[in-house]
Structure 1
Amino acid sequence: MYTLNDIFLGKNDGKKEASYRPDFENYFYDHNKIYHKVMQNEKYLVLGRKGTGKSILGEFIKKKAQNDAEWFCNLCSYKEFQFHELVNLKNGDIKPNEYISIWEWVILLELAKLCLENENLSYSETWQKLNKFVRDNFFTVKLNAMKIIEVTQQNKLSGNLFKFGGEHGKTKKYSVGSYLYYLDDLRETVFELLAETDCKYTLIYDELDDKFRNNEIYKNSIISLIKAVDKINLSMLDNRINGKVTVLLRTDIFYILNDPDLNKIKIDNSITIDWGATIQVDSPLFDLVFTKIKASVPDLKDKSRVELFTLFFPEQIRRIDTEKFLLGRTFFRPRDVVTYLNFIIEKYAQESRFKEHAFIELEKDYSTYFFQEVRNELSGHLDDLLIDEGTLLLKQYNRGEFKFKNLKEYYEKNKSIYPNIKLEEILKTFFEFGLIGNKWKKDGMDRYFYSWAYRDNKAVIDFDKEFAIHVGLRTELSL
């Protein structure tokens, strides 16, 4: 007999999930065949809201590569990367392209690292020359972006990468020691090695949002990174190299980047992780849960999704259909569903199902988590002070649903408590990130209609309609 304690649903953090569970790939749910899609040569930009599964996808690709002797893969974390360090390394190109060259340099060195891991190439004079160049300048072949930037900033690079030990008549366009002086030769050398075998080479860039700030340096850096990746991936295709660089990026960050080329890249080269927007029992989020349940309890592997739903979930919670109660408190993200259920597993480990009273009892813990997730996602888009004042206003107004004119009247009377926010602007941002939505009735119809930006990315705030605060936040806001 199984208990909830036997079930592994995953962790809040994809990297931790991969670390804590060595066989995590057996629990991976390949939603919409996302793995197959990201393996296509032209798809290198993976977009998704925070918590939709970008990092675990990266870990899954890395695990696949570890089981293939001819697949060299590196999952590069940019969690601690300081984007302002790039300022001193930009080239003379116009904004926002001034960081393309330094990103190309970083990517090529990361690819060089993969080439040097392939000891089957060590016989090659080109491999030996690249190995010497990397060791002489970076003192290790275990490179990461921070080490590359640290050394590159010193402008003390030395050695040569020319195939024949020197290229007669080469024009020195840049000062010796600058990475720009070596960029063309590094590209030629790395591509030559990549093309020398049929091995696969994969770079994945993750956690680019950790130092996110809605400022010019960060945005231009990310635009330049995407363009550098596009350039290198196209070059690898042209040279028939079995390699690709993939970028994992939050959707909300991508949409604030302003560049005419990005829309073409989004259409041709991106995949968006989307878990649907309809509250229904056949939501893929339940399929994810059932996939993990079957992997955790082999005796259940032949059960249908209907049988599993009946086995593990109550029919209703507070007289609300369970799928509506649970999904209505989320942003339709795996992280939200898994977190809520893990709270129940932790407290009721010896139970055999997720009971109604457990959902009710753990709702406060979940709402606290959900509120913090929203704050984290807003961070970088808004100053923390504005987030705090805006959410305090919603809490102190103490209405789960309200009309703008009534909230504005309350705000004007209590403006001294919220001195830094502009009401229309903060509500617009809160709407864009799903804290609030619009609700209204259509003529002759008795039921309410809702507009939420997290369910429809074309939704636009309407100050003439009534507002509703997301149900997942209401307990934390004491509404």
Structure 2
Amino acid sequence: MKRSNFKELYFGHASAETEVARDSDLFLRTYYDRWNLSASIQRQEFFLVIGPKGSGKSAVSEYVRLKLARKYGEHAVFSRTFNLDEVSPGMSPLSTMPNKDVTAQGATLSDSAWRLFLALQLLDMLSNDPSCSLSSDPQSIKLIEDLRRADLLGRDFPSIFKRVRENKTTISLKGFVTHERSSRESDETSALHLGEALLRLISSARSDNHFLLSIDGLDRIINDNDAYWLTLAALLRVGDELFRRLLAASIDIRLLVMCRSDVFRRIRFADADKIAADSSIFVDWSAEQTKPADSPLWDYLASKAGITAASLFAYFPENITVGQRSGRPRSIPSPEYLIQATRSTPREISSLMRRIQGELPPNGYLTSDRIRNAVDIFATRDLLSIVTAEATGLLHDQLQDNLADILSSLPSASKLTEDSLAEAIKSAGLDGSLTAELAQFMFLAGLLGNYDPRTGYVQFYHRRDTYKFKRQGPWQLNRGLMYAFNVPFS
């Protein structure tokens, strides 16, 4: 294969949604099904998709939707994706949940609110299906209108939680429930019990079509908001309950919940281990290999490009030369140099490949210099932008705004200490007391790794996110950022 064709290879896009919007057939054809999702979809083996940020959780949702559409026809699949972290007019992210309203003692309220929220989403989807039994039933049509007039349909979760907590809204379910399950003899059901009643109605509905509800946005680590973690725990409890319930329903409804792996480990509730074992799929690219060339990310890229991993390696020079400006040049194997410039996710390795393509002239071929330039551009424009976006709401505004200046001021990339990071922060004109906050964020973001002086081994969080942050250091900076900001290795 000619190296001059590298510029023409397809490597996907950073966003699965963008990739699908551009060419859904190409996305489906080049999807690297490392977890045998095709078989799992048919057997409905999971509802929870767990993996690091950027690992392809949203891509799993798109893949499931497209596989269903190809099997049953686009007209027969109704789908909806709801991002719980979305900030738009009329929408509030989960992080806005007030601590005083969400408590461990009030878990029943949170569970009831999630049942109602999910039931409303599903009911709204079913109402759009002309062949669904609910669409032709006068009582069901009236119920949906009543829910719309009560301003329950289309609301975000914080709004639904507030309605459940206040418990002032009642909806008539005459003909749907018995008096024993109603709040009053008039068959009116309160907001607290409405979700359960609607789920019974949904489970008994009939349709030949198929429905998929995907919940995304469980990607934030917010240390000082207990309400956030209790709310997520309630979602997973109710999600697991609903997943099992829908398996026995008269209608084909599937639920997917995408959750970052380290977020999942922070959510504490009794059945978390059972959900992880029985109802989950882990989207993990196992970046802890001793040989970077063995990373499954190369198989992912090869699948996107429609070639073999060996053919992909053939495009690159064997080694990348670095350190020439310092007078101490050294050679790094290309797979190691490229993988370690990213945080070992499909999103970032795809972005890096496209940056490399951008550095090639027409009919050009890959050289060490061109690859180095592409890595610099990727780190300063792509990786830093991604990390800055991840920091929104989590990192002090001054740190977020001056992150590039701080990185440029680091004295070295290896054996960084709390004191050296504090000096870099001060040189950017900020308060050194922010050091601990920045160091922990950079570790969780995969920008700093724990350095073990005894073995010389570096533990990056993105390689195995069970690693604990060593607050006193020493640490090592991500390689891509080191070269992009011209930080000396030592």
TM-score (norm 1): 0.81
Q: What is the Cα deviation at residue 420 of structure 1? A: 5.8
Are residues 181 and 348 of structure 1, via their aligned partners in 2, closer, same or farther at CA, if it must alter by over 3 Å? same
Are residues 160 and 354 of structure 1, via their aligned partners in 2, closer, same or farther at CA, if it must alter by over 3 Å? farther
1:399 is aligned, of 412, 427, 430, to: 412
Are residues 214 and 259 of structure 1, via their aligned partners in 2, closer, same or farther at CA, if it must alter by over 3 Å? farther
AA in 2 matched with 1:250? R
Cα deviation 1:235-262 (Å, max 9, x = unaligned): 2235576433110122233333343433
Answer whether contact 1:98 1:224 (CA < 8 A) is retained.
Answer: no
1:7 is aligned, of 6, 9, 12, to: 9
AA in 1 matched with 2:24? P
Superposed counterparts of 1:240-255, under 5 Å: 242-255=252-265
AA in 2 matched with 1:11? H
AA in 2 matched with 1:115? L
Are residues 74 and 352 of structure 1, via their aligned partners in 2, closer, same or farther at CA, if it must alter by over 3 Å? farther
1:307 is aligned, of 281, 301, 311, to: 311
Larger deviation, residues 422-431 vs 337-346: 422-431
2:276 is aligned, of 266, 276, 293, to: 266
2:338 is aligned, of 326, 343, 363, to: 326
The whole-number CA distance in structure 2 between the counterparts of 1:26 and 1:309 is 22
2:227 is aligned, of 183, 192, 217, to: 217
- The question of 1:76 aligning with 2:87 is answered no
Gaps of 5+ in 2: 322-330
Cα deviation 1:152-204 (Å, max 9, x = unaligned): 959666443524xx7456642699584335334312211110xx356543211
Superposed counterparts of 1:109-188, under 5 Å: 109-122=120-133, 127-138=137-148, 144-146=154-156, 149=159, 153=163, 158-160=171-173, 162-163=175-176, 167=178, 171-172=182-183, 178-180=190-192, 182-188=194-200
SS of residue in 1 equivalent to 2:81: strand
Report what 1:99 is aligned to.
110
The whole-number CA distance in structure 2 between the counterparts of 1:348 and 1:159 is 66
Are residues 38 and 210 of structure 1, via their aligned partners in 2, closer, same or farther at CA, if it must alter by over 3 Å? farther
SS of residue in 1 equivalent to 2:451: strand
Q: What is the Cα deviation at residue 56 of structure 1? A: 1.7
The whole-number CA distance in structure 2 between the counterparts of 1:364 and 1:92 is 46
The whole-number CA distance in structure 2 between the counterparts of 1:124 and 1:400 is 62
Gaps of 5+ in 1: 295-302
SS of residue in 1 equivalent to 2:263: helix
The whole-number CA distance in structure 2 between the counterparts of 1:190 and 1:408 is 55
1:382 is aligned, of 369, 373, 395, to: 395
SS of residue in 1 equivalent to 2:475: strand
Are residues 252 and 382 of structure 1, via their aligned partners in 2, closer, same or farther at CA, if it must alter by over 3 Å? farther
The whole-number CA distance in structure 2 between the counterparts of 1:228 and 1:465 is 40
1:473 is aligned, of 477, 481, 485, to: 481
Larger deviation, residues 335-344 vs 210-219: 210-219
The whole-number CA distance in structure 1 between the counterparts of 2:406 and 2:399 is 10
AA in 2 matched with 1:20? R
Are residues 353 and 118 of structure 1, via their aligned partners in 2, closer, same or farther at CA, if it must alter by over 3 Å? farther
SS of residue in 2 equivalent to 1:460: coil
Q: In angstroms, what is the RMSD of aligned CA positions?
A: 4.0
Q: What is the Cα deviation at residue 439 of structure 1? A: 3.2
Larger deviation, residues 320-329 vs 269-278: 269-278
Are residues 355 and 178 of structure 1, via their aligned partners in 2, closer, same or farther at CA, if it must alter by over 3 Å? farther
Cα deviation 1:338-377 (Å, max 9, x = unaligned): 1111123234363365443321222221111212322333
Q: What is the Cα deviation at residue 82 of structure 1? A: 0.8
Cα deviation 1:366-394 (Å, max 9, x = unaligned): 11121232233344443333455777555
AA in 1 matched with 2:244? L
2:464 is aligned, of 456, 459, 464, to: 456
Report what 1:293 is aligned to.
305
Answer whether contact 2:408 2:485 (CA < 8 A) is retained.
Answer: yes
The whole-number CA distance in structure 2 between the counterparts of 1:357 and 1:328 is 17
Answer whether contact 2:422 2:435 (CA < 8 A) is retained.
Answer: no
TM-score (norm 2): 0.79
Cα deviation 1:71-104 (Å, max 9, x = unaligned): 443333342341468779x799824553221211
The whole-number CA distance in structure 1 between the counterparts of 2:222 and 2:470 is 29
AA in 2 matched with 1:421? S
SS of residue in 2 equivalent to 1:31: coil
AA in 1 matched with 2:19? E
The whole-number CA distance in structure 1 between the counterparts of 2:422 and 2:221 is 37
Larger deviation, residues 56-65 vs 133-142: 133-142
SS of residue in 1 equivalent to 2:24: coil
Q: What is the Cα deviation at residue 478 of structure 1? A: 3.4
2:451 is aligned, of 439, 450, 459, to: 439
SS of residue in 2 equivalent to 1:10: coil
Superposed counterparts of 1:48-63, under 5 Å: 48-63=51-66
Cα deviation 1:395-453 (Å, max 9, x = unaligned): 423211235376379579x599442635455434433432222334558xxxx322222
Larger deviation, residues 397-406 vs 331-340: 397-406
Report what 2:29 is aligned to.
26
Cα deviation 1:188-236 (Å, max 9, x = unaligned): 211110xx35654321112344897852333332222212211211222
Residue identity (%): 20
